[in-house]
Amino acid sequence: MALALGAQASEGDPGSSLLSLPLDMQTYLLSFVAPLDILHLRMTCRSFYNIASQQIVWIEALRQICLANAIFLPTFPLDEMTVPELEHAAMAPYKWLALGYVGDGSGTRTSVGTHRIRNLSPVEASLHSDEMDPPEEDDFEVRSLFLVPGGRFLVTFSWRWICVWDLGFATPESSGSPIQNDTDVSEPIAKVKVDLHSMHLVHASPDGQSLRIFVSCPTYANDQKLTDVLHVFEIYPQHEDAELNLIGRLDVVVLKIWNFKTNGWTSWTVQGGFQQAIVTPTLVLLIHSTAVSIWRIPRLMVNAPLFSFVNPTPQPPALNIPYSVSRPPGDDVYSGPSDWYSGTPLPITYDVATITSLDEMHLQRYEIVLTDEPPYATLVETLAAVIPVRDDDDTLNLEPYRFCMDSLVAWWYETYTDTMNIYTGPVRAPQDAAGGSQRVLGVQTTAISAAGTASSFCPMSGRFAYLDDDDDSLQGVVVLDFLLPLGAMRSDNARPAAHPVELDNNLADSGRWMDDLTRWNANLYNPTQF
């Protein structure tokens, strides 16, 4: 007869017990267990509680969460974190999913409580003092920002400045404190002055230890625009004396494919207009209204001068994947995961969003599945949903999505209600899953410019950042933390290690989060669960 999990085997008993193994073997086996299941194991008995409370167990659990979700690895100083800090960070994405998925099924909005508010000091105060030349007021106006996955590091883009800020990782103490306004982040950890710039991207380095920031800056002579210059800056933000160093520069009119480490390049021309481009280490995928076109990246040239071909040779795609149902060009919005995830093992997916009425948006999700055998790539319709919207001007600006476990999180600013709306949905669903009205969380942000605002969100930490345009002063950045610590969540089915703490009233809607999450896992694709 098999022994119950955790029971000690007696002499002559053929059964086996996990607890009879050496401690290093037990912790090794727990490295294959998801954080939520580690919590469930810890609630079974005192022996499992002791094993599952080891620091090494939660270090590995958090490390696996980071790797699976492309979180910037230096976000967490793993060896320096306490067990409650590790546990809080590893469980944060589960808590966000409990907020994002669980609802009454009505499809109506639900407000999200805010548990910490921080206002970064104006950028001007941090940059003005060490510059000899008198600045223009617009030089310091923040135009865009990027919250690095993990939620600790924030990159802000002003007209002439790039700044990197260390917000700290969300701790149990900071997230569980009452609503407060802090100004504890008064200086960026690094900054660099650039020319007026337009396009910018943020990526992790291949080893995951540094940030690489790409900016495209136009050049002028006699008030005439000449060409765009691509700059690549690198920073190790976890270092004490972090600096933004220029590691690559490219002066070309049109950028095709460029390896700034080897200075290799290639280029070709394509026909037609495209809504979105996706790049993997070996492929270029262009998405348009009738199909997805795929090119293999050829061997890069290193001997010829950069982009020396005046008229690149037209190249047909190696593969064209048409839609099963034609999508004629129109007002559809094409959106997908942030460019941060390019080149990672996460799914290659995107959405086509259509506002069908003043109060509904239809979302059709596609996934490009690559294989090593013919036909080498297929286009799969993975999810259909109807999301409630309220916007009088019939416009929709979906921000680049973020991955959170097996889900994607999208958000958009709604001018009619002055609200940032957040939608969490599964990356993929069975073909026979019925579409339905989905749950949307509303983040009521005050003093947002009526024309909309730049924002960035990290569901893996429950941290949201947006630009504040409250008065005539220069724009500042507001940072919101949503998630309560584990000690403030409770489950009726759990045996708590301490007295349970009642939920904040702002999160009464989320109920008992572990029970809600269990129901969500059991019936992920039932539309009434949103």
| Residue 508 clears pLDDT 50, i.e. is over it | no
* CB atoms near residue 360 (< 10 Å): 15
Burial degree of 287 (CB within 10 A; 0-12, 13-18, 19+): buried
Q: Does position 64 have pLDDT exceeding 80, yes or no? A: yes
Q: What is the pLDDT of residues 289-301, one digit of tens each?
A: 788 888 888 888 8
Q: Is residue 9 part of a domain?
A: no
Shared domain check, 391 and 303: yes
18 lies in some domain: no
362 and 447 fall within a common domain: yes
Q: Which of 409, 410, 353, 357 is CA-nearest to residue 385? A: 353
Mean pLDDT of 459-464: 90
* The predicted structure's pLDDT at residue 504: 34
- pLDDT higher than 80, residue 520: no
Task: Give whole-number Cα distances, 473 to 125, 126, 128, 351, 468, in Å.
Answer: 12, 15, 15, 37, 10
Q: Is the pLDDT score of 308 beyond 90?
A: no
Could you tell me the pLDDT band of residue 515, with boundaries at 50, 70 and 90? very low
pLDDT, position 311: 67
Distance CA 526, CA 503 (A): 26
Residue 13 placed within a domain: no
Report pLDDT digits (tens) over 467-504.
876 544 445 788 888 886 554 443 333 323 333 323 23
* Residue 322, in any domain of the structure: yes
How many CB atoms are closer than 10 A to CB 17? 16
Kind of pairing between the strands at 348-357 and 360-370: antiparallel
Is residue 2 assigned to a domain?
Answer: no
Q: Is the CB of residue 503 less than 8 Å from the CB of residue 484?
A: yes
pLDDT at 2: 40
Average of per-residue pLDDT values in the chain: 73
Which own/partner contact pairs does 277-285 have at CB distance under 8 Å and 24+ positions apart?
Answer: 278/336, 278/342, 278/348, 278/350, 278/368, 279/342, 279/343, 280/342, 280/343, 280/348, 280/370, 281/343, 283/370, 284/257, 285/348, 285/368
Q: Tell me whether residue 11 is in a domain.
A: no
Q: How far apart are CA 199 and CA 232, in angstroms?
A: 12
Per-residue pLDDT tens for 405-423? 988 888 887 776 677 788 8
Mean pLDDT calculated for residue range 386-411: 78
Assess whether 93 and 111 both reside in one domain: no
Same-domain status, 107 and 84: no
Q: Is residue 168 over pLDDT 70?
A: yes
Q: Please report the pLDDT score of residue 388 as a whole number.
A: 73
Can you give the CATH number for the domain in which 475 is found?
2.130.10
Owning domain of residue 31: 23-42+51-100
Do 454 and 348 fall within a single domain?
yes
224/95 same-domain check: no
Band (90; pLDDT cuts 50, 70, 90): very high
Residues 129 and 82 grouped into a single domain: no
pLDDT tens digits along 359-384:
777 888 889 998 888 778 888 887 77
Q: Where are the alpha helices (DSSP H) in 106-147?
A: 123-127
Q: What is the pLDDT of residue 244?
A: 95
Name the β-bridge partners of 426: 407
118 and 66 in a common domain? no
Number of domains, the chain: 2
Tokens 């942030």 — which residue? 338
Question: Do residues 236 and 134 share a domain?
Answer: yes
Q: Give me the amino acid identity at 264.
A: G
**76 and 154 assigned to the same domain:** no
User: Quick one: 83 and 130 in the same domain?
Assistant: no
Task: Kindly report the number of other CB atoms within 10 A of residue 78's CB atom.
Answer: 19
Of 65, 81, 100, the one marking the end of a domain is: 100
Same-domain check for residues 37 and 146: no
